[in-house]
Amino acid sequence: MFKPARMLNAQLLVPRSKSSGLITALHEKGVCELKEVEGKELEGIEASDSEEITIAQQRLSKLMTGLDEFKPIRQPDSLVKTLFFPSEPKKIKADLFSNQAVLDEVNGHLDVIESKVEKQLVEISEARQKIEEIEISAEELLILPNVNLDLFAPSKNIAVILGIVTKKAAIELEPKLKESVFLLKNRDENTQLLILACRQSQRENVEKELHAVGFDPLKINFLNKKPREIIAGLEHEKIALRKRINEIRLYLQNTAKGHWERLEVLEEELSVCVERADALKQARAGKSFAIFEAWLPAANLLEFKQTVRKSVGQYYLVLDEKDEAPSLLDNPRVIKPFEMITGLYSVPKYKGLDPTPVLAVTFALFFGYMLTDFAYGVILTVVAVIIYKGIGKYNPGLRQFAAVLIGLGISTALLGAAFTSYFGDFFPRIGIETPGLLDPLKDVMVIIGLAVVIGVLHISLGLLMGFVDNIMKGKKRDAFANQGVWLMFLIGAAIAVLGEPFMMIALGLIAGAVLLHIVFSVLEGGAVIGILSVFDFSGFVGDIFSYARLTALAIGTAGIALAINFMALLVMDMIPVVGIVFAVLIFVVGHLFNMVMNGLGSFIHSLRLHFLEFFQKFYDGGGQVYQPFRAKRKKTMGGI
């Protein structure tokens, strides 16, 4: 706690022939994060089957993309079951732990169905395209007069052009086509059918004029048939094509039903193979040996050694601790969910200070202070528990967020009780007294003062943490320059509040803090920076008073709740019989809206107070998250 878990740098020498087996074992165990071995003296390791894996992955991906439209549709669980009693994701025990075994099964499936499926997909695509062409042709034929189409066939001397033109363009064309004979027929409000006859010698010039105005020619086969007769034939052809499409769809659906589940497993296994092949490239090797490098949490050392020994037998291992190691946060179970909030800002560097234990307490405190309603806190806690035990049960990210919400809900309920807020002032309005210490709408100045005191304590705690951390790292000057002077200033300000007997001591501490800050600023950036640094104190005081937003949101929540209660009771009194229905509706919807909107505001402002006012006093972040080399399995379970 307060520091990331101890991380070891492991350099491992193993027989080259055992490299693939070692990667497979480490991938399934997930006990370390692989790191690229530095040095150009040795060659990299290329998986012998990497090209085959890539080709198989491409083929399988193409096949599954084609079959995706026809895959079995899984019946979703009911909303109640999904929210409260979600089913455990179905996973198949992985039994293919070598790349070759995966490739053999993938190629076996592909050899059985790939060519057949591709042939059917091509046929169904061509049939669909043909249907589109038929529909376009039918639409064009409907425009024409219902006479034999060979009447429009060109002759040796006469050219006939048919197409669609806008009414505006038709007016423009009229004077330009005086030597041609043409007929216009309205198609819709904006366009017309144009049937034009001209001498063959004039055809090229006529087509240029038509093209200039956006003429859309019709492609017509000049048969000795009427358009309606041709359309009827096309409809019969379309029906036959659709029947064939349905036959192909049934075949593809049956194929997908019989193979889809296994294809999904093999797709995942191929992805795992690709990850292993990429991991091998991070190693370096000679003729008979290979060198791997990894980041290893100290707690995983024994399991790591056992995995390596089981995979390769004899090996040589060098362990070291380096400052550039990735960070694995190490906090108690009750605090661990709040690591996601720290991560939103940045994880600490290895051996850096982890603020999560403090953040877990103060973030919940600030949130509860702002939302500050016992009933809202209870509702939020119940909803969070439902998510945690229900829909979030098999979703780690959602489960972690639900755990944070549980903490926020409990804090809101406790502070809501302290602030005498139970759906705002609802119960006193109906004659039921509620326990509490303060009222956000009556004790405004007390709550503002309390918020400022909380701000002073919060910032002081951050400064103290940064001061101690810098001293422990041997950075004494940074400790006094970045945190010490501000702690001195705060101590001086706190003593000044005590009154006249201590005023000289307080002024001395404040003046000393200002002077030291100027000196440190001059040493770091020069005289101009030193003089301007005086204004940092106004910014620092502003940071403290920024905590007054705690009171602003607390009053806002209570004020809106009061207005909702007033409207609900007013409606119930003014409207006979059905008034109670409208009152309940206003009460439920209003308080739900208040809880959600002010809950969102409380969360955002809690983030702001930590990220801007708190972290910037001592916390740099800038660490790299530890990412274990572990097979990403959703459909399968590892078994080594």
Q: Where are the beta strands (DSSP E) in 167-287?
A: 181-186, 191-199, 216-217, 284-285
Lookup result for tokens 């995966």 = 102
Higher pLDDT, 438 or 221: 438
User: What is the rounded CA–CA span in Å between residue 200 and residue 219?
Assistant: 18
Per-residue confidence (pLDDT) for residue 4, from 0 to 100: 93
Whether residue 406 is predicted with pLDDT greater than 80 in this model: the reply is yes
Distance CA 28, CA 272 (A): 10
Phi, psi values for residue 16, rounded to 5°: -60, -35
Torsion of CA 420, 422, 426, 428, to 10 degrees: -40
Residue 502: count of CB within 10 angstroms of its CB: 15
Instruction: Please give the average per-residue pLDDT across 189-205, as a whole number.
Output: 87
* Cα–Cα distances in angstroms (integers) from residue 593 to residues 12, 20, 415, 492, in the given order: 58, 57, 20, 44
Q: Which two tokens stand for residue 208?
A: 């240029």
Q: Select the more confidently predicted residue: 558 or 394.
A: 558
The predicted structure's pLDDT at residue 188: 81
Give CA separation, 464 vs 399, 614, 619, in Å: 33, 11, 11
The mean per-residue pLDDT over the stretch 103-114 comes to 88
Helix (H, G, I), strand (E, B) or coil at 239: helix
- Identify the pLDDT of residue 626: 95
Q: DSSP 3-state helix, strand, coil percentages of the chain (rounded to 5)?
A: 65, 10, 25
Domain covering 147-225 in this structure, CATH number: 3.30.70.2750
- 99-103, 239-243, 260-264, 452-456: least confidently modelled range: 99-103
Does residue 97 register a pLDDT over 70? no
Indicate whether 215 pLDDT > 70.
yes
- pLDDT for 416 equals 95
Using CA atoms, how far residue 355 sits from 195, 343, 345, 347, 618, in Å, is: 81, 11, 11, 9, 10
Q: Would you give the DSSP letter of residue 224?
A: S
In terms of DSSP bridges, do strands 289-297 and 33-35 run parallel, antiparallel, or are they unpaired?
Answer: antiparallel
Beta partners for residue 239, in sequence order:
none
Position 384 confidence tier, pLDDT thresholds 50, 70, 90: very high
Partnered with residue 43 across adjacent β-strands are 285
pLDDT of residue 222: 64
How many Å apart are CA 498 and CA 266, to the nearest integer?
A: 73
- Average the pLDDT over 448-476 and give the result: 92
Position 609 pLDDT exceeds 90: yes
- pLDDT tens per residue, range 360-369: 999 999 999 9
Q: pLDDT per residue over 615-626, tens digit each?
A: 999 998 889 999
CA distances from 564 to 187, 242, 244, 510 (A): 60, 60, 63, 47
Among the listed residues 49, 15, 95, 10, the one whose alpha carbon sits nearest the alpha carbon of residue 277:
49
Higher pLDDT, 41 or 105: 105
Q: How far apart are CA 453 and CA 459, in angstroms?
A: 10
Distance from C-alpha of 219 to C-alpha of 525, rounded to nearest angstrom: 79
At residue 185, the pLDDT reads: 81
Q: Flag whether pLDDT at 301 surpasses 70.
A: yes
639 φ, ψ (degrees, to nearest 5): -150, 10
SS3 217: strand
Q: Given a cut of 90, is residue 245 above it in pLDDT? A: yes
Using the 8-state DSSP alphabet, how is residue 441 labeled? Answer: T
Is it the case that residue 514 has pLDDT exceeding 70? Answer: yes
Q: In Å, how far are 3, 341, 366 from 112, measured between CA atoms?
A: 56, 50, 62
Helix (DSSP H) and strand (DSSP E) numbers for the chain:
21, 12
Within the chain, which residue ranges are assigned CATH 3.30.70.2750?
A: 147-225
- In the beta sheet, which residues pair with residue 10? 294, 319
**pLDDT band at 639; cut points 50, 70, 90:** low
Reply yes or no on whether the pLDDT at 531 is more than 90. no
User: Among residues of the chain, what percentage have pLDDT more than 90?
Assistant: 49
Give residue-wise pLDDT tens across range 127-182. Answer: 999 999 888 888 878 888 888 888 788 888 888 888 888 888 888 888 888 778 87
Q: For tokens 């807020």, what's the residue?
A: 421
The vertex-262 CA angle with 257 and 264, nearest 5°, equals 95
Pull the structure tokens for residue 608. 């702001």
pLDDT at 112 over 70: yes
Separation CA 325–CA 304 (nearest Å):
17
Residue 483 CB coordination number (10 Å): 23
Contacts of 334 (CB under 8 A, 6+ apart): 360, 407
In sign, the C-alpha dihedral spanning 82, 84, 85, 88 is positive
Mean pLDDT value across the chain: 89
Q: Which pLDDT score is estimated for 96?
A: 59
- Between helices 485-497 and 503-525, what is the axis angle to 10°? 160
